[in-house]
Amino acid sequence: MISVALEQKELEQQALVQILFEQQFQHSAELVCHAPGRVNIIGDHTDYNDGFVLPAAINYGTTIAASVRDDKIIKVYAHDCDQQTNEFSLTEIVFDQQMMWSNYVRGTLQALLKKHPEINGANLVVTGNVPQGAGLSSSASFEIAILKTFTQLYQLELNGINAALIGQQAENDFVGCNCGIMDQLISAMGQQGHAMLLDCKDLSFEDAPIPDDLTLFIVNSNVKRGLVDSAYNLRRQQCEAVAKYFGVSALRDVTMAQLNAAEKEIEPELFKRARHVVSENTRAVNTLKALKANDMATISAEMKASHISLRDDFEVTTKEMDGLVEMIDSVLGTKGGVRMTGGGFGGCVVALVPNNLVTEVTDIVNRKYEQEFGLTASIYHCTASQGAFR
């Protein structure tokens, strides 16, 4: 089991990255920047359909120590990627097949240069504690940390929404994953102690407090996944096909009544994909209202319905994730909520757990998961953290 206090973890990261920077570059860093990962409480595969999502930034993230250079060279040491160093020029940014992690730096800076061609190079040391490939958005945390670092190094006029758009552009166009805007925007603009209902169509958002008596309880199934190589992009294409059928730009503009009326005219698999998205938008909005009212029974029901929809209609869960949800739900009942979170095909489940049930939920996962599936789960007791640009 993994459970670490916010303050201790962030202080440890800041201290480590400054020590590593001095070791690598023989001088002190000019600044240290941090961007959080995120967990999506409800609203999966709705973001790229211009829909609603309800994420929270979490107290796990990416920390970068940096100093400016007087040339166009970027030299970056990644402590958590086999302690590799990568170097390239801002005048010639190309995809690196050997050090794939460096493409998040390369792509983000390529996108930033389109808005701010005046920036020069930098020495960077990166460390992070977001579990990679778990669905907690280590990539967006990395991108937003880079953007925050260069914003401070070069006093750029860059706000959180524009930073999120640049990070998304880097991931879409350079890295090759057609993600929506959610991950980058919550990493940039999350509010401490709150979840955010984000409208991915117009990028407006509304914060809702997470009650103090609830823990953001995240369990990594340790079933690894890679969104770029998975069926994620296929799911997006399927959603776009249904939107095209209705003559709209995205499924956000399709109602459940319209979808049901056209069921016989749409290929069954495509209908199921669209039904998940349209119904998930409603669940995200309902969950925001329930959070504000501290209505745990409604939150529980909406999260349960979300998981079933992701399992049966969108088909992105795994037997391990389904098993974890069943275990946790057997303890929570209507007192909390649990579902898979992220892109799917492995990764994490998220639960809103009353503080007085955290020990019991932890115990059932530790006792039953390895026994049933032959894997050891990693458990994270999280708090909602502040975004890098908030």
Q: How would DSSP label each residue in 105-127?
A: HHHHHHHHHHH-TT---EEEEEE
Specify the amino acid at residue 91: T
**Cα(27)–Cα(16) distance, rounded to whole angstroms?**
15
> Does the active-site annotation cover 363?
no
CA distances (Å), origin 168, targets 6, 164, 186, 294, 358:
27, 6, 12, 33, 35
> What is the DSSP track for 39-105?
EEEE--S-GGGT-EEEEEEEEEEEEEEEEE-SSSEEEEEETTTTTEEEEEETTB----SS-TTHHHH
Rounded to 10 deg, the angle between the 268-293 and 296-312 helix axes is 160
Other CB atoms within 10 A of residue 72 CB: 14
> Largest alpha-carbon pair distance within the chain?
68
CB distance 235 to 316 below 8 Å: yes
Task: For Cα atoms 136, 142, 143, give the angle at the middle one, nearest 5 degrees.
Answer: 115
Residue of 47, 183, 207, 329 marked active site: 183
Name residue, tokens 């359909």.
Answer: 49
Q: Is 177 helix (H, G, I), strand (E, B) or coil?
A: coil
| DSSP symbol at 201 | T
Cα distance between residue 314 and residue 385, in whole Å = 30
Cα–Cα–Cα angle for 355, 357, 358, rounded to 5 degrees: 70
- Distance between start and end Cα atoms, the chain: 31
DSSP 24-44: HHSS--SEEEEEEEEEEEE--
The number of residues making up the chain comes to 390
CB–CB of 281/201 below 8 Å? no
Which residues belong to the active site? 183
